Amino acid sequence: MISVKTPHEIELMREAGRVVAGILDVVEKHVSPGITTMDLDRIAEDYVLSQGAKPAFKGYGFDKKNLFPATICLSIDDQVVHGIPSSRKLEEGQLLSVDVGAVKDGYFGDAAKTFSVGEVSEEKKKLMRVTEEALQLGIERAVSGNHVEDISSVIQNYVEGNGFSVVRDLVGHGIGTRLHEDPPVPNYGKKGKGPLLRNGMTLAIEPMVNAGAYNVYTAKDGWTVYTSDGKPSAHFEHTVVITDGKPEILTLSNG
């Protein structure tokens, strides 16, 4: 069932979105060669708690024996999403995808951004640019009267037109009092298909784009998703609400 938010609920989601945007801003300041992904996770958790919020990802999962152990997901190069923070140090030339979530006053925010670690290759620069531009194009289609796959199709067409591929096994989603709500928001599809978009709907739109093929696999840790061909991947995400017929981004940078 698709949840339509009241004006009061949207205000609460704006606050959760502000916290999430702040996490990305704080983490970005510390992304550099030599820092560990565990260090970045600690920085993120300190910020979340300072804002009177809680990490959305820590303890999340369907397998009670393997819940996500950290505050944020940190995925390097061919890791698409859900990378677990560790003692691994960032290295010059890598891509780092940072996926963050927070819950405040019972409402969730979710966003992601891919950063370059120092100087990266031209291909990686293009991959980041195309993924972020695809996200913006998708958000522009999140208007009342459109359908979910109007978002999906424009993302797919733009990404594939630039020589990359969109991950099929993972999709965006509705969001609100739960981190993942209906409807699913794929990054591929056909214009005019899927549920009708209405005022008050809140969506996490998140293209995951591979430099090579779209095929992925999950590592033995049960979380980290890798590209099957070992090529790099990028991930950008915003939480948006449809209000007055148009999309409003709730997780814009505070900077």
Domain count, the chain: 1
Per-residue tens of pLDDT for the chain, all 255 residues: 999 999 999 999 999 999 999 999 999 999 999 999 999 999 999 999 999 999 999 999 999 999 999 999 999 999 999 999 999 999 999 999 999 999 999 999 999 999 999 999 999 999 999 999 999 999 999 999 999 999 999 999 999 999 999 999 999 999 999 999 999 999 999 999 999 999 999 999 999 999 999 999 999 999 999 999 999 999 999 999 999 999 999 999 976
Residue 1 lies in a domain: no
Q: Is residue 254 part of a domain?
A: no
Residue 84, CA distances (Å) to 67, 130, 204, 223, 231 in order: 11, 25, 21, 8, 19
Domain assignment of residue 79, yes or no: yes
43 within some domain:
yes
**Hey, which residues does 201 pair with through a beta bridge?**
4
Global pTM reads: 0.97
Q: Are 239 and 202 in contact (CB under 8 A)?
A: yes
Q: Give the phi and the psi of residue 245 in degrees, each rounded to 5.
A: 85, -5
pLDDT of residue 254: 75
- Does residue 66 fall inside a structural domain? yes
Instruction: Domain of residue 147: give its range.
Output: 7-249
CATH number for the domain harbouring residue 176: 3.90.230.10
69 in a structural domain: yes
Name the strand (E) or helix (H) holding 164. Answer: none
Q: What is the DSSP string of 38-54?
A: HHHHHHHHHHHHHTT-E
Is 2 domain-assigned? Answer: no
| Residue 179 covered by a domain | yes
Nearest alpha carbon to residue 172 among 127, 239, 95, 113: 239
